[in-house]
Structures are given as structure tokens and as C-alpha cells.
Amino acid sequence: MGLALPAVALLLATTPALAQNEPVRFYNRAAVPATALHVMRAGQSSWSANLLNRGPLGPGQFLSVRLGEGAGCRFDVRLVLQNGTEILRQGADVCPTRSVDLAPDATPDAPRP
């Protein structure tokens, strides 16, 4: 029993570091397919390449992306829909839920169904 406590303490100590390496899911919550998804660390000035390199992201679908070790938690995200509408989320905190909902009227604190 004495050995279990240090093992649990070690697991708890490493969990936050591992969480940042887990993929983040970017959900298209619009009624229209998306043709482009770009991310950048919050406060940076250049977007990533289009992450939808395998084709459109349909309504309700998600793309799972590994953001890289040490990338942090806050990201600006831009989803471009097939009809030309752009959905922009600035400073999205990906660490707590490892997901970002992207909809034309989305707010950062909106609950997910």
C-alpha cells in the first residue's frame, strides 16, 4: 500500500504536461461544409497552412490536430466555410476540453449539446 501513493503522485504530477500533447478537436458547428481551417498561437501574426488538406469538413464533423509540444493553450482559429463565411475564434483555450466549437454565432462559453 505504501508504494501506491508515490505512483499516484507521480501520475498526477505528469498529467498536465501530457494533456498539452493530446490532439485538439476542431468542430464545424455551421450548417455548411468548411473548406479551410487555420490556427496560430494567440498573439502571433501568421496563420498555419490550410489544415483541411483532405477535403471539406462537413457540418458536425471535427478535425483532430496535434498542436505540438510546448505550443501552449491559447490559439486563434479561423474556419472558412464553402459559402465564403469566415468564423474567427480569438484566444480559444484548448487545454481544458481539448476541443473548439466553430459556428457563426459561437461564443467561447457556449455549452455543447
DSSP state string for 7-39: HHHHHHHHHHHHHTTS-EEEEE-SSS-EEEEEE
- State the average pLDDT for the chain: 82
The arrangement of secondary structure in 4-102, i.e. its CATH architecture, is: Sandwich (2.60)
Contact 42, 73 (CB under 8 A): no
Residue spans of the domains in the chain: they are 4-102
Q: What is the pLDDT of residue 71?
A: 85
Span 93-97, average pLDDT: 93
Instruction: In whole angstroms, give the CA distance from residue 67 to residue 55.
Output: 20
pTM for this model (two decimals) = 0.75
16-65 pLDDT, tens digit each: 444 567 899 999 999 999 999 999 999 899 999 999 999 999 999 999 99
Residues present in the chain in total: 113
